[in-house]
Structure 1
Amino acid sequence: MEKPTRIKTGSGPPQAFRYYDIVMAAFVAILLLSNIIGAAKPSYITLPNGSEWSFGAGVLFFPISYIIGDILTEVYGYAKARRVIWTGFAALTFMAFMAWVVVALPPAEGWDGQEAYEKVFGNTWRIVLASIIAFWAGEFANSIVLAKMKVWTKGKMLWSRTIGSTVVGQGLDSMLFYPIAFLGQDGWTTELIIQLVLSQWLIKTAWEAFLTPVTYVVVNKLKSAEGVDIYDTATDFSPFAKSD
């Protein structure tokens, strides 16, 4: 297996990659599907003491988008990951707009699925806004931390930066989403929101740690296939900077 060429950002012309578009498509697809399918259904597990612990079903799959985000930053660098995050942000925004339009359209006579349709796709403006803001902030924090840690660790200890960036990114995601979406509504006490933030944070981070071996395999294979190992030593980390 050939060793990937170590490239520092700003040291040469933009690279052409074989699998970048595929990874981007996987990221956006999982992001949208976890919000469409998983977000609408609460589920539970039975604890050893017989009590039930509830969680949002989307938490089982949404963290995979963060893992793909880690892979993007680690293999292709922050600038390429930034483009993917903005693509995901645009797709998430359009999905919310499309859902609002379709739900608002009057149902045809004889169709009795409007109530069920509204229940699944008719999220309140607060939930939609919270989801978009939390995704944007969490993903950028995740990518920036991972890129900077790669330089600090000189490319060693991949596990430390994938888990460390997830602690920051997923923590910010959870801390933004629940207060923006639910704080002040009936039944949503501050204590409940804090519990949900902490539980979601722990679950998402645990997922990242559990799937670390998979991350290692994918990262190594992509670096070998693309022939690069990018370090963000001269990168503008502003989310609004122009991507390569």
Structure 2
Amino acid sequence: MSEFAISDSLLQERRERVFLVLAGFFLCAMTLLNVIGITRFVQVGPMQLAVGVLAYPLTFLCTDLISELYGRARANFMVTVGLVLNIFILAVMWLGNALPAVDVAVQAPWQTLPLADDVGLPNGTSVRGDVELFALIYATTAGAVLASMVAYILAQYVDVFLFHWIKQKTKGKHLWLRNNGSTIVSQGVDSVTVILVTFGAAIVAGDMAWQAVLGLMLSNYLFKLCSALADTPIIYGLVHVLRPYLGLNKQPSGEI
């Protein structure tokens, strides 16, 4: 069946399904960053990364694909939905921390952790003794979620803006340039912002050296830069497959 024989209703269904899949991966990767965040740091070659960062470059691939296929309005809509989800996650965590906990004796054994020594936290405080698991998770992730939200706002909107600015300047040519150019700049914004906001209190308190901070920034950015360069053939392949599937071969991108 040729693309010209496909009904408008089927094309519309395909377009909405593809958008839902891309938006789903985008929001899932973003939520993973918030949920597991800095609960663990892993060694990837010479880079030291927060485990939540591993899936984050996928968000920029999804943003660029939606920008290319659906246009700037759809991409900004998805980014705005992600921002609302960030706020929702932060609100639920705050509410869970604000509500009174049941007596420690009633809780399951795994809900409290015995800490023999003082443990420094990213917010500049330290804990010791019997610590509730949620309290520890909240102390280590709430600041990271806020940092992620601030970095997210800046980086994702910068990515969408630059993608379409480069596309306009190149008259729709050179997909590789707008894909890499927008992502390289926005990932830099994200890497610097998220580290500064997450560990700001520890830096001010002197509990974290600037050398360590710069090392984390560089590691995060190098990982995201390598991911951005590696996804170039992926975005070319997906655009090549999806444009005819969505009935866009005879239609300029960004009009659905």
Global fold match (TM > 0.5): yes
Range 161-170 or range 80-89, more displaced: 161-170
1:22 and 2:42 equivalent?
no
Question: Which residue number in structure 2 is paired with residue 35 of structure 1?
Answer: 34
CA distance in 1, matches of 2:175, 2:3: 19
Counterpart residue number, 2:247: 227
Alignment equivalent of 1:151, drawn from 168, 171, 191: 168
Q: CA deviation at 1:124?
A: 6.0
Alignment partner, residue 91 of structure 1:
85
Aligned to 1:237: none
What secondary structure, in the 3-state scheme, does the structure 2 residue paired with 1:227 have?
A: coil
Structure 1 residue 163, shift from structure 2 partner: 1.0
For 1:10, the equivalent position in structure 2 comes to none
Residue type matched to 1:142 in 2?
A: D
Deviations 1:180-207 (A, max 9, x none): 2223143323333223222211210111
Deviation sequence 1:104-157 (CA, Å, 0-9, x none): 441462323153333334446543322111001100001110111112222222
What pairs up with 1:152-171 in 2 under 5 angstroms?
152-171=169-188
Aligned pairs (5 A) from 1:92-241: 92-105=86-99, 106-107=101-102, 109-112=106-109, 113-114=111-112, 115-123=132-140, 126-183=143-200, 184-228=204-248, 229-230=252-253
TM-score, scaled to structure 2: 0.75
Match of 1:56 in 2: 50
Q: Give the distance between the partners of 2:54 and 2:225, measured in 1 at CA.
A: 12
Contact 1:135 1:173 in 2 (8 A): yes
Partner AA of 2:90 in structure 1: A
Instruction: Return the offset for 1:45.
Output: 4.4
Structure 1 residues 107, 69: closer, same or farther in 2, change over 3 A? Answer: farther
Flag the structure with more relative contact order, 1 or 2, with Cα contacts below 8 A and sequence separation at least 6: 1
Q: Distance in 2 between matches of 1:196 and 1:230?
A: 38
Determine if contact 1:142/1:165 at 8 Å carries over to the other structure. yes
What is the alpha-carbon distance in structure 2 between the residues aligned to residue 218 and residue 121 of structure 1? 39
Given residue 198 of structure 1, which amino acid in structure 2 is its aligned partner? L
Deviation at 1:69, TM superposition (A): 0.9
The structure whose Rg is larger is: 2
Contact 1:99/1:122 (<8 A) preserved: no
In structure 2, the CA distance between the partners of 1:178 and 1:80, relative to structure 1 (3 Å rule), is same
Please state whether the residue corresponding to 1:154 is helix, strand or coil: coil
The percentage of aligned residue pairs carrying the same residue is: 26
* TM-score, normalised via structure 1 length: 0.78
Counterpart secondary structure, 2:176: helix
Distance 1:46 1:147 in 2: 34
Q: Taking structure 1 as reference, are residues 153 and 42 closer, same or farther at Cα in structure 2, changes over 3 Å only?
A: same
Structure 2: how far apart are the matches of 1:39 and 1:163?
27
For 1:119 and 1:91, the matched residues in 2 are separated by 22
Question: How big is the shift at 1:2?
Answer: 5.9
SS at match of 1:230: coil
Aligned positions, number: 217
RMSD: 2.6
3-state SS of 1:134 partner: helix
* Amino acid aligned to 1:111: A
